[in-house]
Amino acid sequence: METAFYIAAAVAVASTVLMLTRLNAVHALLYLIVSLLSVAVVFYTLGAPFVAALEVIIYAGAIMVLFVFVVMMLNLGPPAIEQERALLNPGIWTGPAVLALILVAEVAYLLVGAGVSPVPAMVGPKRVAIVLLGPYLVGVELASLLLLAALVGAWHLGLRVAAKEEKEEISHAYDTRGARPAAGRDLVRAGTDRNPGSP
Amino acid sequence: MFALGLTGILVRRNVIFVLMSIEVMLNAAGLAFVAAGAKWGQADGQVVFLFILAMAAAEVSVGLALVLQIYRRWQNLDADALSRMRG
């Protein structure tokens, strides 16, 4: 159990250092995901399986999906295609893949040999729930308030982006309409403003 | 040890990297809490980690929305110029 903890911690530190030295954001994201997964394994070896599962689900699942989505959104177009082609290059994903393989092997070893070396002082989800909803009830309510505020804030920012885009598009169409007829902008109404006599 | 190695890294690169560094720092703090909770066999460390998790999720959603907003507003700027105007 000790060696498993140290291996996972070493993987975490290594992947984090590699993440910080990457130039490309997508490569850094790969290393960051490996880092979060290794921290989850560290939690498991520390005897906190509930928190380890939450780490994988929320951090490596939800937050990383957000990051990947935004990074992919920020460079659309031909550079993105180049990047996709570069991502298939094996030199890029071997680093995270090797680190992740170390983690997978370690988890398999832990699950197989779980009965041999019991986790020291396992704190299960039940005790966590009892403490969470007992003395920390105010904290839970505050966290829900914080999440609500974040939801409203993110929605507001996204809404402003969408409204600005709409406005820019409309003004752009208005500018071009003065110079020449906006061709193909609205397929339904195309041709209805044409003179009947013209060909 | 882990948190110390990771906290010194915030001063890096562009906005996306700064957000990722913040994630790593929050993770290190949570790891310290869980390790302390495991050392004394208490569940409080995990409870605090749950709070950190909720806060990280909120922070990331707002931060990424801000990044999108910045990018849309100065669309013809690459990531380096974006990091320069961060200050």
Which of helix, strand or coil describes residue A10?
helix
> What is the nearest CA distance from B85 to chain A, expressed in angstroms?
17
How long, in residues, is chain B? Answer: 87
For residues A99 and A181, the model is more confident at: A99
Q: Which residues of B touch A13 (CB under 8 A)?
A: 2, 5
Tell me the DSSP string of B28-82: HHHHHHHHHHHHTT-SHHHHHHHHHHHHHHHHHHHHHHHHHHHHHHTTT--HHHH
In tens, the pLDDT along B12-36 reads 555 667 777 778 878 888 888 888 8
pLDDT of residue A187: 42
Is residue B31 within 8 Å of B4, Cβ to Cβ? no
If you search the block for the tokens 């849309």, which residue do you land on?
Answer: B72
* pTM given for the model: 0.68
Question: Taking 50 as the threshold, does the pLDDT of residue A38 lie above it?
Answer: yes
- Cβ-Cβ contacts under 8 Å between A and B: the total is 143
* Nearest-Cα residue of chain B relative to residue A28: B17
Lowest mean pLDDT across A11-15, A24-28, A79-83, A141-145? A79-83
The reply to whether A53 touches chain B by the CB within 8 Å rule is: no
d(CA B83, CA B71): 11
d(CA A39, CA A147): 24
The reply to whether A87 touches chain B by the CB within 8 Å rule is: no
The reply to whether B60 touches chain A by the CB within 8 Å rule is: yes
Rounded to whole angstroms, what are the CA distances from A62 to A148, B4, B35, B54? 17, 26, 24, 12
